[in-house]
A = this chain, B = another copy of it.
Amino acid sequence: MPDPRTPLPDSRVSPRFAGLVTFARYPRLTDLTPAPSAASPLDWLIYGVPFDAGVTYRPGARFAPRAIRDASQYLKRYHVEHAVDICNTLAMADAGDAPVRPYSCRENTQAVAAWAAALPGGPPTNPPTRLLALGGDHSIALANLRATHTRLGAPKPGLPLIHFDAHLDTVDAVWGEQYSHASPFIRAIEEGLIDPTRMVSLGIRGPLNTPADLDFARQHNATIITYEDWRYRNGQQTLAAALAKIADTPAYLTFDIDALDPAYAPATGTPCPGGFTTAEALHALRSLRGLNIAGADVVEVLPDRDPTGTTAFLAAHIAFEILALDAARRTARPPTA
């Protein structure tokens, strides 16, 4: 067997329940020798953002990066449906946790975005090393979007966005504050980071405080696929049409774990009954095959409400599915963006 692009510990010596923890047992960025370079870049950096001061209901996502990494020890490398070994295909490392500002969502967004933008593999690396952020509450998506957008050279009109969520997260302000987990995508649209006409939100459902959230999306020509659209109406075709429009443009994928029904992901801050089963969500993710994912996040896991550990384990698995999408894309064409 050829050397894998991402080496893992020898499980004959160190079982999955042993060893210091990194995401999926990937190398720490600081341990790589030689260090990654523009000539020999990494494909993905995974990092955590232990931050939850942007919540409007239940806090606790600050402990999610640790819990997701713990749960990720059981992840394996070969994806059955895509028929790809992601560690043979992708060079990946764990960059640790971003420097957070626990008391201010605005400051935290700035600090995390700046740190992430400066991670190895930014320009001139082309395509840049992609960033997968493990939240934290959904406010951290804005930070990773800023960093991803910057590293891609600030393309206009902003990145296409695939958005799994129960909520639209385009509320203008909560308690007078414009930076919170309710607002990342209104800010991202304002900042030109994402292109609302190529934004697709899947799994949306109510109840809402007001229909204003829906109106905003419609005014910006964003695509909303409610869970009922997906399961009982034409949501899957709507997604396919949106993907066709995105084509090969580098896009961003954000996954709020509350897109899943609370039976599958009880440990989240603003749960919403009536969402995806895990199998449906994985099927939806796998249907993205071909999408050029230039950055991603998995957010809103609250370990303190996860007595069986199911939610953190699911979040780790979703990160794996995202990486597998990129690996699958690469096995069918040259690894360029």
Tell me whether B205 and A80 are in contact (CB under 8 A).
Answer: yes
Say yes or no: is A320 at the interface (Cβ < 8 Å to chain B).
Answer: yes
Tell me whether A76 and B209 are in contact (CB under 8 A).
Answer: yes
Tell me whether A18 and B48 are in contact (CB under 8 A).
Answer: yes
Most buried by B among A19, A66, A279: A279
Bound Cα distance from A279 to B179, whole angstroms? 31
In the complex, chain B residues whose CB is within 8 Å of the CB of A53: 53, 103
Bound Cα distance from A77 to B262, whole angstroms? 20
In the complex, chain B residues whose CB is within 8 Å of the CB of A133: none
A window 195-212: CB within 8 A of B:
204-211
Q: Mark A1-27, 1 if CB is under 8 A from B, else 0.
A: 000000000011111111111100000
Chain A facing B: main interface SS: loop
Tell me whether B21 and A20 are in contact (CB under 8 A).
Answer: yes
Which of A37-45, A120-128, A302-310 contacts the other chain?
Answer: A302-310
Say yes or no: is A70 at the interface (Cβ < 8 Å to chain B).
Answer: yes
A111 to chain B, nearest CB (A): 9
Say yes or no: is A100 at the interface (Cβ < 8 Å to chain B).
Answer: yes
Bound Cα distance from A279 to B166, whole angstroms? 13
Contact A206/B267 with A15-B50, A22-B20, A97-B19 known, Cβ cut-off 8 Å: no
In the complex, chain B residues whose CB is within 8 Å of the CB of A273: 278, 282, 313-314, 317
Most buried by B among A31, A70, A103, A283: A103
Tell me whether B74 and A283 are in contact (CB under 8 A).
Answer: no
Tell me whether B74 and A57 are in contact (CB under 8 A).
Answer: yes
Tell me whether B18 and A283 are in contact (CB under 8 A).
Answer: no
Bound Cα distance from A214 to B76, whole angstroms? 15
Q: Which of B31, B78, B105 contacts A208 (CB 8 A)?
A: B78
Bound Cα distance from A77 to B210, whole angstroms? 7
Which of A147-155, A224-232, A291-299, A328-336 contacts the other chain?
Answer: A224-232
Using a CB–CB cutoff of 8 Å, the interface residues on chain A facing chain B are 11-22, 28, 30-31, 48, 50, 52-53, 56-60, 62-63, 65-66, 69-70, 73-81, 83, 85, 94, 96-97, 99-103, 105, 175-177, 180, 204-211, 214, 226-228, 231-232, 261-264, 266-267, 270-271, 273-275, 277-279, 282-283, 286, 302, 304-310, 313-314, 317, 320, 324
| Given A77-B208, A232-B283; 9 other pairs, CB 8 A cutoff | A17-B58, A20-B21, A53-B103, A77-B207, A77-B209, A78-B210, A79-B206, A81-B228, A263-B263
